[in-house]
Amino acid sequence: MNKHVKNGGLCALALATLTINIAEAAPQKKSDWRKFNFFSHVETLADASKKARKKVGTAPSYGVMASGEEDYLSLLASEFNYITPENVAKWGPLQPVSANEWDFSAFDSMLAVTQDNKQKVKGRALVWHRQAPNFVNEQVDAATLAQMIDNHITTTMQYYAGEIYAWDVVNEVMGDDANYRQSVFYKKLGKSYIADAYISARAADPRAKLFYNDYGIDSINAKSDAVYTMMAELIADGVPIDGIGFQMHLDAASAPSTEEMTANLQRFADLGLSVNISEIDVRISSLSWDDVTNLAIQQQVYHRAVNACMNVRQCDAFTLWGFTDKYTWIDGEFGEDDPLIYDDEYQRKPAYFGVADGLLRIEADEAGQLPNLIANGNLEIGLDGWSTWAGELKRTAFFAKNGRGGLRVKNRTENWHGAVYDISEVIKPAQEYDTSVWTRVLARNQQVSLSLMTQCDSEGAIYQSLDTVSPRLFRWSQITASFTTPDCDSLTASLYIEGPQAGIDLFVDGLTLRPKRLVPNTEGFGPNLIDNSDFEQVNHEWFPFGDPVLTITTDNAYSGSQSLLAVDRTETWQGPALDLTNIVTAGNSYQLFAQSLISASQATVKATIRVTCPAGDQYIGVGGTTASNTEWRLLGGLVTIPNCNFIEAVLYFEGPSPEVNIYLDDVVLHEAITQPINAVIQYSDFENGLDSWSAWGGDLQVTSAQAYQGTQSALLSNRTGTWQGPLIDLLSRVQAGQLININGYTRIEGIESNSVNITVKTLCAGETEQYQQLASVQATNDGWTAINGSLTLPNCQLEEVFVYFDGPVIDANIYLDEVTISTELLEDPNNLITNPHFEQDTQGWVTWGDANISQTDIDAHSGNFSALVQNRTAEWQGAVYDLLPKVTSGQTYQITAWSKISSMSTIEHNISITVKSRCEGDSELYNGVGAELINNLDWQTVTGELVVPECTLAELFMYFDGLPIGVDYLLDDVSVNP
C-alpha cells in the first residue's frame, strides 16, 4: 500500500471519529478511536513519556527490590520505562574484592526484573572517584591504574553487551571550583583517562550509548562552562561520546527557571550531543511555608525541569533519583526531606502531576508565579481530587484545553450539577486566593459559573457564585475570580463548576487556585533577632557587601514608610549585609524572611550567609525569589549554621545584575526552638502483665478488680512494712546526671485513706545508698489519685537506681496504674556528633552503597528512637558520619556507641568502627579502630580510639560496618569525644 494513501486514511478515520463522538454514536463505535494513540487516555508516566517521545526513568534500590516490597515493585514496573541502577552497577559493588574478580550477581538480578518489565537500562558509573574499589588508590602506579580502568570497562561492558542501552562511562570529573577534580585518576593519569575510558567503552560494546554525567551543571554557571569546554574538546578530538546527563539534585528554594535550564541543555545539544536529565530530586526542607505550599512549589520545579527537557529535541530522557520518599538518599545526605513524587505510603504527590503535565507539553508556571494548590488541575492522569455532587464524571481525550486530558460531566439533571474539587486541605482561614478554570459546552446560550462552598465548624454551608461566563459554541472560555476564606476553625470548602441547563454536558480543564501571598510558617521558632528590621529608624547596623552604597529610603516600602536601598553594585554578589556573628549560634537552625524589590523588571534575589570557620569560608544559600520592580516579593528559607568555632557570620543579599538596585524591608530571622527531648523509658498500663515491676515484700500481681484505664492494674497486698511497694529497676535505662520524671495513678484498699509516696533509691560506686522521696499524695479507697515527681540523678558511676511507690500503713494494699517514667536526654557539649540519639531523625548521618538508614521506634538504648540500618548488600555498608569539619589534626578522640542486631537471628556478629581518612595529595586510608560482638537480645557498647592524622585533611569519615550481608542493625547514643 502507498504510504501516503495510508496516512490519508488515518487522518480521515480521525476526523470521522471526532464527528461520531460529538453526535453521541453507539457505544460499540467508541472502540475505534480508543485504539488511536493520540486519543488514548494517559494512565501512567510511562504512557505520558510515550506521547512525549521521551523516556521517563528512575533509579531503584537493589536492596528494596530484593526485599520484594510489592507496592515498590508494582510502581517501578508500571510508571517507568527507563532504569538506572542506584548503586549495583558502580565499580565498587562490581569489584568488591580484587582487580581480577567481578561480582555481577546483584546487577544480573536487577536486569532480570527490568527485562520482564521491558525497560531500557542505563548503567552507571564505570569510572567515578567515589564508590571505587579499595584497590583503586594512590599506591597504584599510573600504568597499573590505566590497565585497571580498561579491564573494568571492557569486562563489564562486554558481559552486558546487547543488554544495556547506555552507560555513564565517566562521572563527575569536574570539581565544584570548575577545575578538574583532583581524584586519583587525574593525579595519576591527567585528563587523558577520560578520553581513554570512552575509547575502551566503544570498543567493548559498539551499540551502547556512551554518556558523561555530572552535578551542579543544571544552568549556565562556571562549572557547566568548564564541562561544556571539556565536552567540546572531546568531540573535537574524535572521542566517541554520545551524550551528557545533567544531575539535578535541586533545592526548591533556589532552583533554576525553565528558561535557564533550557538554554543550558540546548548549548550542549548544539554540540551534537544527546542530553538528558539523569538524576532529579527536589528538596523542600529549606522552604519556609506550610506543607501544602511547599509541595506545590516542588511541583512547579519538577514541571519546569520536564519542560526544559521537552524544549530541547535532543533531550531523550528524564530520570528521577528514586521515586518514593520512603527510600531516598537525600535523607542521609542532606537531612530529612520529601524530595520525590510519591510519599512514604506510595501515594501520588503534587510533583507527580507536575512531571505528567510537563511530558504532555503543558507550560509550567513562570519564575516568580505563586504556586497552584490544585495538584491535578490539568487532568492529564486520572481524576485524583475531583468528584461530583450529582451527574457522572468522565475523562475525555477529545476536549482538552491544556495537554491531552480534560473532564466531562455527563447525565446532569439539574443546572447545579457539575465538577467539584475539595480544597479543604489546601486553604487557610482568612486568606485571599485567586482562582480560574477553563470551561466549554456543546450548546448555545448557556451560562457556566465557578462557585465556592464554605462551611465553618458545625454551621451551615454557604454557596457563593464567584463569576459566570457565557461560552461560545465549541470554544473554551476562562472564568477567573478571587475570594477570601472565612476566619474560622475546621473550615471545609470546595470549588465547583456548574451552570449549563440540565442534560447538557459540561467540559472542564485547567483549574487553578493560587494564594495572593505566601504566609510564613513560624511555628516552632522564636522571636525576631534583627533590630530595626523594618528600617523605620534611620540608624541601622547594615553595611555594604562589596561596593554598594546603602541608604534608608522613602521611595518604596513594604510596610511603614521606609526601606533599605543598595545602589552602585558592581558585581552580582554585592548587596546589603548584616553581621550575625553575635546573633547566631553554631549548630543551631534559623528561619529567614525578607521582602525584596528591585529596579529591573525581573531578576533573582538570593540570601546567603558566609560563615568563616577555622578551616575556611562556607557560603550557605538561605533562599531566593524572583523579584520585580512592580511588587514586593517575599524571600524565605531555612539554614543551619555550621557546627564550628566560627570567627564570623555575615548575611548578605545578592543575585541581580550589577546595575540593578536592591530594596529590602521587613527582614526577620527566627531561631528554631529546641525543646528538651523527653524520652519515655517505661510505660506501664499492666494490660499485658507486670512488665518488669516487682516488690521488696508482699505479693505483687495484676488484677482486674480496679483499673484507672483499660481493664487491669497492679496490686501489692500482704505488705509487712510501710516501705514496701511496687518497684522498678531503672539502672540500665538512665544515665548519670539525667532528670527523670515519674507520673502515675494510685489508690489503696483496706483503709479509707493514707499516704502513698514516690521514692527513689540510688547507689553511687564507693558510696552509701541514698533514698529520696519525690512526691506524696493522700490516696483513698474510693477513687484514683494522680501522683508525679521529678529527680536529677547523681552525676556519678551509678550502681543502683530503683523507683518505688510506698508509704501507707501495712494494712493497706496499693494499686498502681498508667505509670510513665521519662528522662530528659542530656547532650554532652564535647560530643562531636550533633544527633547522637537519633531523636532528630537521622540528620547528619548517611550510608554508603545500597544500605539505607532510618529513624525507628522499634527499640532504643535511650530516648524514644534509634537508627535502623537496612538493605546492606556488602559488608562495608553501614551508617556513616562525616567528621572532617569537627576534628583537629593530631588530636585523639574516644568513640562510643551502642548497637544490636535487628532480626530474629540469635547468632552473634562483629560490628566494626572504621575510619576512612585522606590527606590532601595522598590516597585514602581505611583503619579499623574498634569492634564488638553484638546480638539481637541486648544493647552492646562498641568503643574505639580515633587518632587524627597530622596533615591537611581532605576526608575523614567514621562508619559502622563488618556485619554479614543482609544483617540489619540498630545504632544509638554515638559519641566522639576528645
- Cα 554 to chain centroid distance, Å, stands at 42
- From CA 667, how far away is CA 438, in angstroms rounded? 39
- From CA 924, how far away is CA 922, in angstroms rounded? 7
* CA separation, residue 205 to residues 38, 114, 151, 404, 721 (Å): 36, 20, 13, 39, 86
User: Is 807 within 8 Å of 725 (Cβ atoms)?
Assistant: yes
Report the candidate in 51, 516, 477, 510 with the shortest Cα–Cα distance to residue 293: 516
Determine the Cα angle at 857 with ends 853 and 860, to 5°.
Answer: 90
User: Is 307 within 8 Å of 264 (Cβ atoms)?
Assistant: no
φ/ψ (deg, to 5) at 636 = -150, 155
Q: 174-205 burial string, b = 16+ CB within 10 Å, else e?
A: beeeeebeebbbbbbbeeebbbbbbbbbbebb
Residues 6+ apart with CB under 8 A from 693: 684, 686, 700, 714, 726, 727, 728, 816
Q: 334-361 burial string, b = 16+ CB within 10 Å, else e?
A: bbbbbbbbbbeebebbbbbbbbbbbbbb
- From CA 192, how far away is CA 976, in angstroms rounded? 42
Report the relative pairing of strands 432-441 and 506-515 from DSSP bridges.
antiparallel
Spot the catalytic one: 79, 172, 260, 924: 172
Report the candidate in 927, 48, 18 with the shortest Cα–Cα distance to residue 405: 48
N- to C-terminal Cα separation, the chain? 84
> Burial of 896 by CB count in 10 Å (0-12 exposed, 13-18 middle, 19+ buried)?
middle
Q: Residue 915 in 3-state DSSP?
A: strand
User: Is 504 within 8 Å of 447 (Cβ atoms)?
Assistant: no
> Burial of 237 by CB count in 10 Å (0-12 exposed, 13-18 middle, 19+ buried)?
exposed
Spot the catalytic one: 79, 86, 260, 279: 279
* DSSP at 28: G
Joined grid coordinates for residue 911: 560490628
Determine the Cα angle at 924 with ends 921 and 927, to 5°.
Answer: 135
User: Is 201 within 8 Å of 169 (Cβ atoms)?
Assistant: yes
- From CA 163, how far away is CA 155, in angstroms rounded? 14
Q: Residue 642 in 3-state DSSP?
A: coil
Per the annotation, the verdict on 279 as an active-site residue is yes
Per the annotation, the verdict on 172 as an active-site residue is yes
Catalytic residues, by residue number, are 172, 279
